[in-house]
Chain A
């Protein structure tokens, strides 16, 4: 079950504010600072997902990926096996909306995925990886350590 139940109206312009913020932090405080904020967001805001991953339960992570990309009309494919979750995003809703607003996606736009995912996995048997295939197209993989039993 999702910790944050969101099913009302959507304000997609927040993707524009995120984009401006990514550039602002990177330009004024450096990319490492931006990564730190994003990782902390993944770690602290998604505490519920992280704590379940710690126990070997990926159910909330799967529900999170599916629900929020479905809700934002992303094009994606989610493949789940016991020790691996592969989430291929064919059209990122955030980048699609930035283009609609006529904003250039920040060079750091994909850090919001890689660092937040890493923050969710911190201290758990799961590791995340993001491969960028093209603009708005990526493969996010969550892999559980093979020799790690559920607690």
Chain B
């Protein structure tokens, strides 16, 4: 058994293997499908509040140093110390230089499936710090993206290019939420 404490160090080895074979993107999609087990119903039924519940639980179990809040139908999250990258940097094995990419790699397809726009940004790939924003309003994420570009952020990840699917799934989510009211 790989202890759950050490999973991310195994994950890092998987990323290095897949990166050499140009296989990261397909693997992220598989992880995204796996994560639906934990998140899909919660996010579809409770929306941003469901995200607060899920990542609130993750914050405790994974020992994150993170703050988040919802304001004007937008969820903001700031991770000031990511435990995942921190462990990978504190390892005798070499870190995968693309380690941070797995996070938007699985979150973005899940958000598209739940009908939310998402943007994640970070200053560097070797610092355990990042920002994420979630909302169902395309114009809000687009405005953040433009602002980040102006500020010179190098690493910006978003599902804005999948807006057609986001819009369809947003309608589905609204129907599910209405049925639960």
Chain A 101-131 against B: per-residue CB contact (8 Å), 1 yes, 0 no? Answer: 1010000000011001000000000000000
Whether B92 sits at the interface, judged by CB under 8 Å, is: yes
What's the interface size class on A, roughly? Answer: 35 or more
| A4 and B6 contact, CB distance less than 8 A | yes
A residues 1-30 touching B (CB-CB < 8 Å):
3-4, 6, 8-18, 20-21, 24-25, 28-29
B residues 12-39 touching A (CB-CB < 8 Å):
13-14, 17, 21, 23, 26-27, 30-31, 34, 37-38
| A10 and B93 contact, CB distance less than 8 A | no
- Looking across the interface, which residue of chain A has its beta carbon closest to that of B21? A29
Q: How far is the CB of A139 from chain B (nearest CB, A)?
A: 14
- Looking across the interface, which residue of chain B has its beta carbon closest to that of A68? B3
| B37 and A10 contact, CB distance less than 8 A | no
Q: Which B residues are CB-close (under 8 A) to A103? A: 37
Docked complex Cα distance between A36 and B10 (Å)? 12
Q: Which A residues are CB-close (under 8 A) to B73? A: none
Which label, helix, strand, loop or mixed, suits the secondary structure of the B interface?
Answer: helix
Docked complex Cα distance between A10 and B4 (Å)? 7
Which of A4, A9, A24, A92 is the one whose CB lies under 8 Å from B60?
A9
Whether A145 sits at the interface, judged by CB under 8 Å, is: no
| A44 and B13 contact, CB distance less than 8 A | yes
> Known: A17-B7, A44-B93, A45-B10. Contact between A116 and B31, CB under 8 A?
no
Whether B72 sits at the interface, judged by CB under 8 Å, is: no
Q: Which A residues are CB-close (under 8 A) to B9? A: 4, 41, 45
Tally chain B residues at the interface, Cβ within 8 Å.
34
Whether A40 sits at the interface, judged by CB under 8 Å, is: yes
Which of B7, B37, B63 is the one whose CB lies under 8 Å from A18?
B7
Q: Which A residues are CB-close (under 8 A) to B5? A: 4, 6, 10, 68, 71
Q: Which residues on A are within 8 Å of B, measured CB to CB?
A: 3-4, 6, 8-18, 20-21, 24-25, 28-29, 33, 36-38, 40-41, 44-48, 68-69, 71-72, 74, 89, 92-94, 97, 101, 103, 112-113, 116
Ordered by A's residue number, 30 sampled pairs between the chains whose C-beta atoms are within 8 Å are: A4-B90, A6-B3, A9-B61, A9-B62, A9-B63, A10-B5, A10-B61, A11-B4, A12-B61, A13-B4, A15-B4, A15-B7, A17-B7, A18-B7, A20-B31, A21-B10, A28-B23, A29-B17, A29-B23, A37-B13, A37-B14, A37-B17, A40-B13, A44-B13, A44-B92, A45-B10, A74-B1, A92-B1, A94-B1, A112-B2
